[in-house]
């Protein structure tokens, strides 16, 4: 294969002809143009000292998608719901420092005691998916369902990746929360209690679960667009749908395409394709394995040495798994690597700042859910926890 000692113009021509290679476009887990190191070289020592000074008064939670510089200080790592559960299981910790995004910290506040304070190191760390369903939009959708006479037989189900306001709405209307690992059980519960489901806010998880796990067809799914009157649907389409999917998605998992899968199989016929159920339906249908973040980790733990894997989920996790299992070939499914930009707002400087503020007796960036919303949201979470 032609190398890259050629002049730039020759390199470009060879690439266009398919006769050259570009290391920056090959599958892997490294991001060209890595994020710069923190400007203060003493940040690790400062974080260590502050955490030691706080002792058991602080409990640091780190989501799987966080960068390694933050994860090294986490007392527990996991997905959003596992971390919220872990926060609730530590009643002695006065401060819960959540290295994740806003909706996760809200869930932790709902599940922890009144004497505990949940802290998000950067209040700008949000979630684009959660922001795709606002309380006013969902209320308007429910009014549309009431107008066409189906609200009474519709059970709302919201993904964990939603705001406290949406969880509160779902709890108030008799629905429940789900995660990517228990979405099938949640939907079965919903159909035991109603005829239809309104699924918020990730259309792909809802669609993939309906078709792959429950055996429904794509024709049973209607997509509600909150930016259009009546969701862009006719009254008949609403009445005929078994599940009304909200038009929301994950910006990271939405990047993976069927072309990514097909190209990876051409490059490596032995590859195992594994993706998160937040991916598009055609990507999930073409994959070998589909599952939650915890499922992906467990599958790679159990994989045969020497096996090849292309993983469709957030880059920080994929790279961490590649480093953890060097006896397996693990790469990012897309050749254009991408971090979750909002998750990566929680960096080492923000973590150090939050810890040192606590040492100084100041509590920064507390996340508090109002009592009424929290009560309804807790009902929706409790229904999920009671699933068989």
pLDDT in tens, 42-63: 999 999 999 999 999 999 999 9
Alpha-carbon distance values, 77 to 71, 80, 266, 320, 324 (Å): 7, 9, 35, 12, 15
Residue 161 assigned as binding residue: yes
Residue 32: inside a domain: no
Q: Is 242 helix (H, G, I), strand (E, B) or coil?
A: coil
Residue 340 assigned as binding residue: yes
Q: Return the closest-CA partner of residue 43 out of 19, 67, 15, 16.
A: 67
Do 221 and 297 lie in a common domain?
A: no
Torsion of CA 364, 342, 297, 352, to 10 degrees: -30
Give the tens place of pLDDT for each residue, 205-226: 999 999 999 999 999 999 999 9
Residue 281: inside a domain: yes
Number of domains in the chain: 3
Residue 9 assigned as binding residue: no
Do 201 and 262 lie in a common domain?
A: no
Residue 327: inside a domain: yes
CB-based burial label for 120 (10 Å; 0-12, 13-18, 19+):
buried
Residues with Cβ within 8 Å of 177's Cβ and at least 6 positions away in sequence, in order, are 157, 158, 159, 160, 162, 167, 170, 186, 377, 380, 381, 383, 384
- Examine the fold and report which residue of 296, 317, 339 is the final residue of a domain before the chain moves on: 339
Do 245 and 139 lie in a common domain?
A: yes
Do 139 and 203 lie in a common domain?
A: yes
Residue 63 assigned as binding residue: yes
Do 164 and 52 lie in a common domain?
A: no
CATH number, residue 135: 3.40.50.10800
Do 136 and 244 lie in a common domain?
A: yes
**Helices 102-111/164-172 angle, 10° precision:** 50
Residue 132 assigned as binding residue: no
Residue 382: inside a domain: no
- Burial track 18-50 (b if 16+ CB lie within 10 A, e otherwise): eebeeeeeebbbebeeeeeeeeeeebeebbeeb
Q: Is the CB of residue 285 less than 8 Å from the CB of residue 207? A: no
Residue 220: inside a domain: yes
Provide the residue range defining the domain that includes 95. 41-126+343-369
Do 239 and 262 lie in a common domain?
A: no
Residue 72: inside a domain: yes
d(CA 374, CA 88): 14
Residue 80 assigned as binding residue: yes
Q: Is the CB of residue 241 less than 8 Å from the CB of residue 247? A: no
Do 191 and 284 lie in a common domain?
A: no
Residue 160 assigned as binding residue: yes
d(CA 305, CA 308): 9
- Examine the fold and report which residue of 250, 284, 313 is the final residue of a domain before the chain moves on: 250
Residue 278 assigned as binding residue: yes
> Residue 235 corresponds to which tokens in the numbers above?
């009254």
Do 190 and 297 lie in a common domain?
A: no
Do 210 and 244 lie in a common domain?
A: yes
Reading the chain (388 residues) residue by residue, the pLDDT tens digits are 333 343 444 444 333 333 344 444 456 666 555 555 666 779 999 999 999 999 999 999 999 888 889 999 999 998 887 888 888 899 999 999 999 999 999 999 999 999 999 999 999 998 999 999 999 999 999 999 999 999 999 999 999 999 999 999 999 999 999 999 899 999 999 999 999 999 999 999 999 999 999 999 999 999 999 999 999 999 999 999 999 999 999 988 998 999 999 999 999 999 999 999 999 999 999 999 999 999 999 999 999 999 999 999 988 899 999 999 999 999 999 977 667 878 888 999 999 999 999 999 999 999 999 999 999 999 999 999 899 8
Do 240 and 322 lie in a common domain?
A: no
Residue 35: inside a domain: no
d(CA 229, CA 208): 26
Residue 159 assigned as binding residue: yes
Do 242 and 285 lie in a common domain?
A: no
- Examine the fold and report which residue of 195, 219, 250 is the final residue of a domain before the chain moves on: 250
Residue 18: inside a domain: no
Residue 31 assigned as binding residue: no
Q: Return the closest-CA partner of residue 306 out of 356, 258, 272, 346.
A: 272
pLDDT at 9: 44
């Amino acid at each position: 294969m032609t190398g890259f000692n050629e002049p730039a113009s020759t390199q470009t021509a060879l690439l266009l002809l398919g006769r050259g290679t570009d290391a920056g476009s090959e599958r892997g887990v490294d991001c060209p143009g890595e994020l710069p190191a923190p400007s203060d070289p003493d940040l690790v020592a400062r974080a260590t000292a502050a955490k030691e000074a706080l002792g058991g008064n602080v409990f640091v939670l780190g989501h799987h998608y966080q960068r390694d510089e933050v994860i090294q200080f986490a007392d527990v790592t996991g997905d959003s719901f596992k971390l919220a559960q872990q926060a609730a299981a530590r009643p002695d910790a006065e401060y819960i420092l959540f290295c994740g995004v806003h909706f996760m910290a809200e869930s932790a506040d709902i599940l922890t005691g009144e004497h505990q304070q949940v802290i998000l190191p950067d209040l700008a760390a949000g979630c684009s998916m959660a922001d795709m369903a606002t309380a006013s939009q969902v209320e308007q959708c429910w009014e549309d369902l009431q107008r066409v006479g189906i609200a009474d037989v519709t059970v709302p189900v919201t993904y964990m990746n939603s705001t406290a306001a949406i969880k509160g709405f779902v709890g108030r209307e008799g629905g429940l929360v789900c995660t990517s690992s228990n979405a099938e059980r949640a939907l079965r519960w919903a159909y035991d209690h109603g005829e239809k489901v309104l699924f918020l806010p990730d259309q792909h998880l809802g669609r993939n679960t309906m078709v792959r796990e429950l055996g429904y067809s794509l024709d049973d799914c209607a997509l509600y667009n909150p930016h259009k009157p009546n969701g862009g649907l006719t009254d008949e389409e609403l009445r005929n749908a078994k599940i009304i999917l909200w038009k929301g998605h994950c910006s990271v998992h939405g990047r993976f395409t069927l072309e990514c899968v097909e190209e990876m199989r051409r490059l490596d016929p032995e590859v195992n394709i594994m993706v998160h159920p937040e991916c598009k339906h055609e990507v999930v249908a073409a994959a070998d394995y589909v599952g939650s973040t915890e499922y992906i980790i467990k599958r790679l733990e159990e994989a045969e040495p020497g096996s090849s894997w292309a993983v469709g989920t957030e880059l920080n996790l994929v790279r961490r798994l590649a480093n953890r299992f060097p006896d397996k070939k693990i790469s990012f499914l897309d050749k254009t690597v991408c971090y979750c930009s909002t998750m990566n707002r929680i960096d080492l400087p923000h973590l150090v700042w939050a810890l040192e503020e606590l040492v100084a007796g100041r509590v920064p960036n507390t996340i508090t859910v109002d009592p009424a919303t929290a009560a309804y949201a807790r009902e929706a979470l409790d229904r999920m926890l009671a699933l068989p």
